[in-house]
Structure 1
Amino acid sequence: MELKLRDKLVLVTGSTAGIGKATAISFLNEGARVIINGRSKENVESVVNELSSMGTVYGIHADVSVKEESDRLIEEINKIGDLDVLVNNTGVFTVKPFTEVTDEEWLDYYQINVMSAVRLSRAFLPKMMERNSGRIINLASEAGIKPYPELVPYGVSKTALITLSRGLAEVAKGTNVTVNSILPGPTWTEGFGQFISDMAKENGQELDAFISDYFKNDQPTSLIQRYATVEEVADTIVFIASDKASAINGTAQRVEGGIIQSIL
């Protein structure tokens, strides 16, 4: 399927690992020009070097949870050209009891998970509307609809992204700019995979058995009864960014394996 993304300029925040990196690769496979972003200059340069043989790759290190760094990122992107696709992927979570989460930690969640997307969208959405072309995709989570008691601040921040996405789609109503959120469920990334592997060893279980027990006991509503791959999430993001998905707008697109028991 030709997605017509060749030469489109794409920013994927938090793209030095995990879903973000897989998304960058998926866009490159479609011929897009991709901007790799992360907080560490060394990590950004490493990924740019790794992926440069696949197509046109730029690297801009910036902590998008900080306004001044977001402003610098925006300036650098504008020097490259008009941004066609913005993927707000940067996010953080910590497993912690609700009563132990401090005000400072709540504010950190909002700066990283929410305000990073707000700032970049505020900068690029008007220009997309002027050109009557563009895509904004915000990485939310199934936790934004199905809250977990050990991840309350994370879930609240992801609900905010879902609302932000629908609100911005309303702002761009009547144009060819679309804004959607993506809701991954449990996804097997490098870091998370190591965490689960360590947990299995601590419990004296084989990895496959440990994962099977997790979905049987903790995620029994999952229809696929496994972790999603980063490639599955990334390919969904890239499709939503394409002309083939131009009628998909203002939605919360689930990639969570059916964990949320709802027909809508």
Structure 2
Amino acid sequence: MQIDLSGKTALVTASTAGIGLAIAKGLAATGAEVVLNGRHQDSLQAALEAVRAAVPGAKVRGVAADVGDAAGCAALVAAVPAVDILVNNAGIYGPKDFFALEDADWSRYFELNVMSGVRLARAYVPGMEARDWGRVVFISSESGLNIPEDMIHYGFSKTAQLAISRGLAKRLRGTGVTVNAVLPGPTLSEGVAAMLQEAAASQGVSVEQAAAAFVKAKRPSSILQRAATVEEVANMVVYACSLQASATTGAALRVDGGVVDTIA
């Protein structure tokens, strides 16, 4: 399958590292013009250089904006008034006991993980509909289906993304705009690798081996029995953004290694 997105403009939020950066590289490789986004200019510049190194001749630019609040989303839209592809990747995660969570914690997760995608879709999708072509992808998580007891706040936000993506797809029925959610499982991003580095060193194993042990211990239903790479997740996102995925909409596309124990 040859995915060609030449002439399309794609925006990937929180794309200076991890899954977001891998998605940006994957979309750049299809010929799309890719807009990277991050909060800080220095990390954004490093990400732009990484994409250009991975994809010679890539059409890529960056916008520094914090999409965790309305003002940051508005600044991003002002800098990039229209896109053909929107990948809502921005999000935060972290374990915390339900009874230790305060209102501010819930609000922070809701604003960044949920409302950033809502605000950007509200800004960009009408233009896609007017052009009768567009792709919107929400990066959800298997935690949206398999709520972790130590990250209920995170799971809630990822379930919300599933509801929004499905509902928005219905709202756009009969148009050339598709809306989908991609659900990664345990993924060996830079953040996860940093979290596992100390454990790997103390056990005398590689980070990849430590990640596999984590998956087996914390996600025993995993069929893959290892963490996915960021590129493996990005591959699914690039497909969902492609012209070939024109009949895929309203879907929850799992890249969870089989963690969610269901055939549906």
CA distance in 2 between counterparts of 1:101 and 1:54 reads 46
CA pair 212-32 structure 1, distance change in 2 beyond 3 A: closer
CA distance in 1 between counterparts of 2:136 and 2:177 reads 8
Paired residue for 1:6?
A: 6
The alpha-carbon deviation at position 10 of structure 1 amounts to 0.3
Paired residue for 1:258?
A: 258
Paired residue for 2:181?
A: 181
Paired residue for 1:50?
A: 50
CA distance in 1 between counterparts of 2:176 and 2:101 reads 41
Which runs of 5 or more structure 1 residues have no equivalent in the other structure? none
Paired residue for 2:205?
A: 206
Paired residue for 1:106?
A: 106
Name the SS of the counterpart of 1:188 in structure 2: coil
The alpha-carbon deviation at position 146 of structure 1 amounts to 0.2
Tell me whether 1:71 sits opposite 2:70 in the alignment: no
CA pair 206-107 structure 1, distance change in 2 beyond 3 A: same
Q: Deviations over 1:26-60 (max 9, x none)?
A: 01111110001001111112222333344111110
Q: Deviations over 1:58-114 (max 9, x none)?
A: 110000111112111101112xxx411000000001111111011001000001100
2:62 to 55, 59, 64: 59
Letter of the structure 1 residue corresponding to residue 59 of structure 2? T
TM-score using structure 1 length? 0.95
Which stretches of structure 1, 4 residues or more, deviate above 4 A after TM superposition?
none
CA pair 4-210 structure 1, distance change in 2 beyond 3 A: closer
Question: 1:212-223 residue pairs with structure 2 within 5 A?
Answer: 212-223=212-223
Question: 1:5-44 residue pairs with structure 2 within 5 A?
Answer: 5-44=5-44
The alpha-carbon deviation at position 17 of structure 1 amounts to 0.1
What is the percent sequence identity of the aligned residues?
A: 40
Name the SS of the counterpart of 1:73 in structure 2: helix
CA distance in 1 between counterparts of 2:106 and 2:194 reads 26
CA distance in 2 between counterparts of 1:223 and 1:247 reads 28
The 8 Å contact of residues 146 and 260 in structure 2, kept in 1 or not, is answered as: yes
Name the SS of the counterpart of 1:228 in structure 2: coil
Q: CA RMSD in A?
A: 1.3
> Which deviates more, 109-118 or 67-76?
67-76
Q: Deviations over 1:185-214 (max 9, x none)?
A: 000011211211212334x35246544433
CA distance in 2 between counterparts of 1:229 and 1:8 reads 26
> Which deviates more, 58-67 or 2-11?
2-11
Which runs of 5 or more structure 2 residues have no equivalent in the other structure? none
Paired residue for 2:248?
A: 248
The alpha-carbon deviation at position 160 of structure 1 amounts to 0.2
The alpha-carbon deviation at position 147 of structure 1 amounts to 0.5
The 8 Å contact of residues 186 and 215 in structure 2, kept in 1 or not, is answered as: no
CA distance in 1 between counterparts of 2:22 and 2:10 reads 13
